[in-house]
């Protein structure tokens, strides 16, 4: 009889040397995600710039609403990246000021 369910927790995440096996809790997971926030934000930023550019190009001859939508996507991508960038550096300043280790 074949197994219907697979135990991923011991086979995948609990494998020796896997980075998720060292996570001790939700706080550690949040620190890992926050430490990589700029990388994640950069990838999303590039994707949104590409999507907004395609939207603007495809709507250039058809309707001004599609061009405006592309501009809105690009503006939202820029503002979102700036917010994440500034918040990342605020956390870094707090770490240096108070001597705490937030982002790992």
Confidence band for 13, pLDDT divided at 50, 70 and 90: low
- pTM (2 decimals)? 0.68
Total number of domains in the chain:
1
Residues 63-96: pLDDT tens digits? 889 999 999 999 999 999 999 989 888 988 988 9
Q: Rounded to whole angstroms, how far apart are CA atoms 77 and 45?
A: 5
For the cut 80, the answer to whether the pLDDT of residue 27 exceeds it is no
Tell me what pLDDT residue 65 has: 92
Residue 63 lies in a domain: yes
Question: What range does the domain containing 42 cover?
Answer: 27-97
Query: Across the chain, what does the average pLDDT equal?
Result: 81
Residue 93 lies in a domain: yes
DSSP secondary-structure letter at 10? I
């Amino acid at each position: 009889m074949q197994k219907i369910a697979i135990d991923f927790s011991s086979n995948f995440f609990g494998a020796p040397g896997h980075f998720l096996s060292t996570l001790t809790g939700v706080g550690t997971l949040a620190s890992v995600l926050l430490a990589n926030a700029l990388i994640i934000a950069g990838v999303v930023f590039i994707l949104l710039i590409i999507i907004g550019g395609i939207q603007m190009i495809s709507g250039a001859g058809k309707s001004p609403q599609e061009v405006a939508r592309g501009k809105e996507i690009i503006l939202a991508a820029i503002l979102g990246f700036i917010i994440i960038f500034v918040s990342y550096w605020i956390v870094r300043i707090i770490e240096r000021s108070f001597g705490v280790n937030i982002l790992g």
